[in-house]
Amino acid sequence: MIFSQNATAHASGLHIQCTWFKHSAVRGSPLLRTFLIALCLGLAALPLWRMTQPKATVPIDIVAPATNNTTMTVPFGLQLSASAKQVILRDENGRILWESSGIIAAEVEATWPSLPRSVQIEVVWTDAAPAPRYFAKLRLDPPGRDTLTHVFDANTNLDDLWELP
């Protein structure tokens, strides 16, 4: 029996005497118990160690598609939220990729001679008054890659840069 039959009342409440702690005999070999605990900790540490290690990366050789000295054109689409007076698209060196003046429609489809590392867009809107939000959505369709899309937005004229992935 774990608890004794004689329960007495004290000022702090009911006092129950426990007889389980009176037996101090411990069963089993302490050396064997220590070995089993160390073995269990080691077995638990192995999966934890494997989960916390970074995954090995396999290098992938990327082979560029063969070009026969022809320029690869990159189709793109530009969607504007309003009509614009002028739109200029430049590459990372400031070279003009595409430019249009006059009243530009809401959607434009054209091509570039190559895919730049970054695109700078400048849009001058026909209505110069600040709007809640003007935007220009640029979509690039490079051959052999996924379609890239980015939305530029501002309250007034756009002048922004997009670094391509």
**Whole-model pTM?**
0.54
| 93, part of any domain | yes
Question: What integer pLDDT is reported at residue 23 of this predicted model?
Answer: 54
The two tokens of residue 124 are: 């001058």
| 145, part of any domain | yes
Token match 């070009």: residue? 67
Residue 133's domain spans which residues?
Answer: 74-163
Has residue 122 got a pLDDT over 90? yes
| 52, part of any domain | no
| 83, part of any domain | yes
Q: Average pLDDT of 48-75?
A: 68
| 60, part of any domain | no
Has residue 27 got a pLDDT over 80? no
| 48, part of any domain | no
Question: What integer pLDDT is reported at residue 60 of this predicted model?
Answer: 60
Give 96's contacts (C-beta < 8 A, 6+ positions apart): 88, 89, 90
